[in-house]
Structure 1
Amino acid sequence: MKFTRISTVVASAAIAPAVLFASPAHAADARQTAVTAPDAGSKTPAQQAEDDRLELLRLMASKDAGPGFKEAASKALDAGPAAVREFLEVGQYEARLQDDRVRVAQITSVGGPSVKAAGRKALETGTPEAIKEFLEVGQFTARNIDNQVLVSKIIDAGGPGVREAGKKALKGTPEDIQEFLDKGQHEARITDNRVLAAQIVSVGGPAVKAAGRKALEGTPEDVQEFLDKGQYEARKKDEADAAAKDKAAKDKDKGGKDKGEKGEDKKGGGEKDGDKPEPDASKEAGEGTGTATGKNGGTRTTESGSDPAATSGGTPLASTGAGSALPWAAGGTAVALAAGTGLLVAARRRRSSEG
């Protein structure tokens, strides 16, 4: 018991000096703080007003100051130091929120489907947090979705080069997709257009070839104009030229045929007008006549191959036509009759002289 009491007394004696000396030190620090605080806020009202004015001017010049903020700040400056102080403490945040709402509406109006949906949702929520989240994060996420959809559409409608570049962009970052939309697709399309124009030239007519080669020697805009309009105008010219040549060839062929037909008609007309040469009379007389003995001992001529009754000894039929050989046949008959009569007379005289 004695040792315990002694230990307690010793411990108390050891701690007492520390407690007694520490208290004055803490009090001194408190006094020093109280003295320093008045020094920090020792600006005069005029100095404070000037500092507030300069701070407001600095905020107005910052890049994130919107139209609403600047307008409200200008009104505060005109109203005096109290209005400036009130704007710095409260009004600036309300003005910034109003500017942010305007920015959200502007972004939504020109954005794609996803951006529009996200922007409308933020405006309907209306809180500063929702508006800030859309401006800092939401709009970019939604825009990337819209960009992916747009790249897919471009790929579907593009040529080989555009399709390849677009697929590569979709596998990359949002920045890669934006770069394709801003630049890559146009470079790839220029290459595709030149290839397509060369293909059209290779199978086109003279006018198409000339127009296509001229476009390929020019700018990308010239090539695009050829693909959009020039090739069709040149093709119409080629078709018109081909039709004109075909018509000229047909007219030429028709003219030759008409000339030949006119020559044949002229030749045929001469024969009809009596220009056909008459057959050889002697040949016809030798080939077409013959003699036959009549009942009275006389002779008659027959036209071979034309009077079956004459060759068979029957009664000859009357001729009903006036051929060219008829006069010669009649003459031959007369000669034959005369000759027969002469022979008969000579025979009778010979008999008389003998008797």
Structure 2
Amino acid sequence: MKFSRIAAAVTTAALAPAVLIASPAFADGPGAPDAGHQPATTTPDQSVPDQAEEDRKTILAIIAHPMASEYMKEAGHKAIADGPQAMRKFIEVDQHKIRLDDYRIAISRLTADAGPGLKEGINKLLSGKHDIDMLRHFYEVTQYELRDDDNRVEISRLIGTGGPAVKEAGKKALKGTPADRAQFLKTGRFLAQASDDRVELSRIDESWDGPILSEAIGKLLNGSPTPAELRHFLEVTQYELRDQDNRVAIAKIIDGGGPELVKAGRAALAGTAADRTEFLKTGQHEARAKDQAAKDKAAKDKPTPGKDGQDQGNGSGTGSGAAATGNTATTAQGHTGAPLATTGAGDGTTLIAGGAGTALVAGAGLLLAARMRRAGAQR
């Protein structure tokens, strides 16, 4: 009996520490965590660190996208630096707001090189209600469809105004793919235009008489000009050289010309290139006509020899023929140049003068005869 009591006491003493440690009374002792905040199990929970790492990788992929703007990249890096909650907010909220603005900006920039159809599509989209999916589809799909429509219209216009080479290449592009049409407008049209420009320059050389322009065309075609150089020559240089040839031609025309021709030619040389072209086309002929008219008028006003002229040639110093020869005064022959006065007495004056002369001669003869008789008597 005593032995059994002793055995029970020993057993109780051995189990007491374990029971006390596991009992609620011990758990609620000083320093114990509240209910619901028990210490973690011996195996740690890795869910939070794993989610943060996944969010970080997601943000890095977002900001590496070609469509990511500088603002998107800046916001993403800031979220990573601010920790898990900031990264989760960026992924769920911020990135979508920023992406919406990025697409709006990117689509607006398309108008810089857009045709009429694409510009109209952009204005219609941005002025109406839209979401991120609509913006993304427009940027990735619709813009290219509208660009191709505009390219078709532009190629058709070039075919209508271009030369043979441009027409042929343009029609081929219209039958091809959108990429073919884009390539034609980017480079093909210029290569085709260069072929047409060479033909046009050869035609100009054959039809132009001026040496300056012809020499420049020959030098250009014998070289290795680029399509841009050929186009610039046709659109700019040829007109500068034409004007130089025109100046030389005008200088030759007015050299030794009549007054009106010289006057009109000098005015053209002092004017514009258009003035010089107009002078060579019509102005020189109008000026020549004026000079010829002046010559004809001068010839018509000049008197022709008549009967009066013939009488004057027979020695008569009076009459209309003598007066028509110019501002020459009629004077009596043998006198000092003073004209005889006309008194209206006709030839009476001349007769009286003649009678007086005869009387003087007769008196002198009688005086000489008397002297001779006296001399004979004295002998």
TM-score band w.r.t. shorter chain: 0.5 to 0.7
**1:312 corresponds to:** none
Which of 148, 151, 160 aligns to 1:97? It is 148
**1:69 corresponds to:** 118
CA contact (8 A) 1:112 1:146 kept: yes
CA contact (8 A) 2:103 2:136 kept: no
CA contact (8 A) 2:115 2:150 kept: yes
- State whether structure 2 residue 173 is matched by structure 1 residue 122: yes
**1:211 corresponds to:** 264
**1:173 corresponds to:** 225
Mapping for residues 136-285 of structure 1, pairs under 5 Å: 136-158=186-208, 159-170=210-221, 171-174=223-226, 175-249=228-302, 252-253=303-304, 256-259=305-308
* Cα pair distance change 1:60/1:107, threshold 3 Å: farther
Alpha-carbon distance in structure 2 between the residues aligned to 1:164 and 1:33: 76
* Cα pair distance change 1:73/1:245, threshold 3 Å: closer
Deviation at 1:258, TM superposition (A): 4.0
- State whether structure 2 residue 111 is matched by structure 1 residue 60: no
What percentage of residue pairs aligned between the two structures are identical?
37
Alpha-carbon distance in structure 2 between the residues aligned to 1:101 and 1:33: 50
Which of 82, 99, 108 aligns to 1:51? It is 99
Alpha-carbon distance in structure 1 between the residues aligned to 2:93 and 2:142: 21
* Cα pair distance change 1:232/1:259, threshold 3 Å: same
Alpha-carbon distance in structure 1 between the residues aligned to 2:122 and 2:274: 49
* Cα pair distance change 1:90/1:103, threshold 3 Å: same
* Cα pair distance change 1:96/1:46, threshold 3 Å: farther
**1:335 corresponds to:** none
Amino acid at match of 2:276: V
CA contact (8 A) 1:60 1:70 kept: no
Q: Where do 5+ consecutive residues of structure 1 fail to align?
A: 1-30, 264-355
Deviation at 1:201, TM superposition (A): 0.8
Structure with the greater alpha carbon radius of gyration? 1
* Cα pair distance change 1:113/1:202, threshold 3 Å: same
Alpha-carbon distance in structure 2 between the residues aligned to 1:65 and 1:222: 41
CA contact (8 A) 2:116 2:150 kept: yes
Deviation at 1:48, TM superposition (A): 2.4
Deviation at 1:224, TM superposition (A): 2.5
Alpha-carbon distance in structure 1 between the residues aligned to 2:124 and 2:235: 42
Count of residues in Structure 1 that have an aligned counterpart in Structure 2: 230
Deviation at 1:226, TM superposition (A): 1.9
Point out the structure with the larger helix share: 1
Amino acid at match of 2:277: Q
CA contact (8 A) 2:166 2:189 kept: yes
Alpha-carbon distance in structure 2 between the residues aligned to 1:110 and 1:200: 38
* Cα pair distance change 1:35/1:226, threshold 3 Å: closer
Deviations, residues 197-228 of structure 1 (Å, cap 9, x unaligned):
11111242232122223332444343333212
Amino acid at match of 1:69: L
Counterpart secondary structure, 1:173: coil
CA contact (8 A) 1:100 1:132 kept: yes
* Cα pair distance change 1:160/1:45, threshold 3 Å: same
* Cα pair distance change 1:211/1:93, threshold 3 Å: closer
Deviation at 1:121, TM superposition (A): 2.3
Amino acid at match of 1:165: A
**2:343 corresponds to:** none
**1:341 corresponds to:** none
CA contact (8 A) 2:118 2:150 kept: yes
Alpha-carbon distance in structure 2 between the residues aligned to 1:56 and 1:258: 106
Amino acid at match of 2:184: F
* Cα pair distance change 1:93/1:218, threshold 3 Å: closer
**2:157 corresponds to:** 106
Deviation at 1:163, TM superposition (A): 0.3
